[in-house]
Structure 1
């Protein structure tokens, strides 16, 4: 991630920390798949550690419901809910528990999800945020998202919606979930930062690049065709966020197709 992006987020966080005193600061970091959220979060945590500011990172991906829970949702509601990712496939209460513990100044276990096995890791393998943590970075592709109007759900946005959700049951469920407990979770954010892709079209390339790296590191992984199908689950909400979120995020970092920063704006305190 470019230094100018890290510098901008660093400045926002340090000003917010000064305002919060000893209270926990929760920063939301939103961006499409492959946009560089993890790199930015790690860079910020490293900088803060150098100044002895205890910080923790929680990815919304680590809040995915267990495979058994998603299988039950698939049977009860819609088969597409077997696939992790969209609102409704996360354990929002688990994320709120982490925030509440850190707000009390306590140590907190940070859930971890294993994408290779498509299931949550046992608690013995979770990380721990220390007591007295000052900053929690909640990062993820839909962090801070808001639901669409019901009328916007009618027309499918891609082949997956046309062919596998022709009656709109899946996308309506996802939208209702986003309008519910997710807004409670996102309401705990003190600041929202967005890494804004130039458009959804580049997300397929970014996610494919990620998968190529995963395939080099370990056996298995998705083929390019599987990636193309997988990201269609995220397309509707990603397009929606790219339109509506920059106008309300506390900091928007615009990226080009090569993830170079093309603009930084919207910083509000």
Structure 2
């Protein structure tokens, strides 16, 4: 499908985000308060985080944004994981391919009140940006917007792992090693990272079927922005295979997270807002 480009988000959505942040600020003296923003690939998380951050800065609330995508393990680290655990871990995305310790260290440093270098990952190079080039969060950060496709996700029941959800799993993870390792990661390191969330908002796609189209739009925009740098657009087959890595957990999040998220923003196929609850 070819829905509208995500954003800018309307005032109602931004107001809902700000309301959750105000509630968190009132409920704790801990700073920064951390708002998790979860949504499938292409759902508009980054745009929403940027707009919310601009509003918060206007309210004199120093704000930083951390993307789960910027916590990916380096390419060398993922290739080592692919060699020692399962070949599918060479592809960034699922739990197990992030440097969770780096995420926790970054948040802990923000709690000290000093300007903190914020990790960055270069998807065009499929590798982490050198630390010297990371931007700094503001001193005395009051709010951290932590956005990512599986931020706040809980592990699946072990019995759910017995069944494959797509051809990628059936053909390349028939024994369940890859998905099992990713699920175990969610029970441990990721759970510890997500425990730091003060509030959680879910941008709920209508179903998984729209995600490939949304991700294709992202790919086209990224390739256009990187024109002349040698960055190449994934063809449709490569894109479908890439998105398949995310299918299992995305489906699980859409079924599970509405039951415990603090706010759910339900989207239609063109990312139109259907309901805020």
TM-score (norm 1): 0.96
Match of 2:12 in 1: 4
181, 187, 204: which one aligns with 1:173: 181
Match of 1:247 in 2: 259
- Correspondence 1:27-176 to 2 at 5 A: 27-176=35-184
**Equivalents in 1 of 2:138, 2:12: separation in Å?**
29
Tell me, yes or no, if structure 1 residue 201 matches structure 2 residue 209: yes
What's the Cα RMSD here? 1.1
1:134, distance to aligned residue in structure 2 (A)? 0.3
1:2, distance to aligned residue in structure 2 (A)? 2.7
Q: Say if 2:31 and 2:141, in contact at 8 Å, map to a contact too.
A: no
**Equivalents in 2 of 1:23, 1:65: separation in Å?**
27
- Correspondence 1:173-252 to 2 at 5 A: 173-217=181-225, 218=227, 219-252=231-264
Listed one character per residue, the Cα deviations across residues 237-259 of structure 1 (whole Å, up to 9, x for unaligned) are 00000001001000100000010
Q: Say if 1:198 and 1:254, in contact at 8 Å, map to a contact too.
A: yes
CA change 1:132–1:222 in 2 (3 A) is: same
Listed one character per residue, the Cα deviations across residues 214-233 of structure 1 (whole Å, up to 9, x for unaligned) are 22222412112211110000
Which residues of structure 1 form unaligned runs of 5+? none
Alignment length (residue pairs): 265
1:4, distance to aligned residue in structure 2 (A)? 1.5
**Equivalents in 2 of 1:29, 1:86: separation in Å?**
17
1:58, distance to aligned residue in structure 2 (A)? 0.3
**Equivalents in 2 of 1:48, 1:26: separation in Å?**
13
**Equivalents in 2 of 1:49, 1:248: separation in Å?**
28
**Equivalents in 2 of 1:22, 1:163: separation in Å?**
47
Which residues of structure 2 form unaligned runs of 5+? 1-8
**Equivalents in 2 of 1:130, 1:6: separation in Å?**
21
- State the 4+ residue runs in structure 1 displaced beyond 6 angstroms: none
Q: Say if 2:205 and 2:269, in contact at 8 Å, map to a contact too.
A: yes
**Equivalents in 1 of 2:29, 2:171: separation in Å?**
52
Find the residue that maps to 1:138 and give its secondary structure.
strand
1:21, distance to aligned residue in structure 2 (A)? 4.1
Find the residue that maps to 2:117 and give its secondary structure.
strand
**Equivalents in 2 of 1:23, 1:67: separation in Å?**
33
1:108, distance to aligned residue in structure 2 (A)? 1.3
1:103, distance to aligned residue in structure 2 (A)? 1.3
Q: Say if 2:223 and 2:232, in contact at 8 Å, map to a contact too.
A: yes
**Equivalents in 2 of 1:237, 1:15: separation in Å?**
29
**Equivalents in 1 of 2:23, 2:233: separation in Å?**
41
Q: Say if 1:196 and 1:242, in contact at 8 Å, map to a contact too.
A: yes
1:15, distance to aligned residue in structure 2 (A)? 2.6
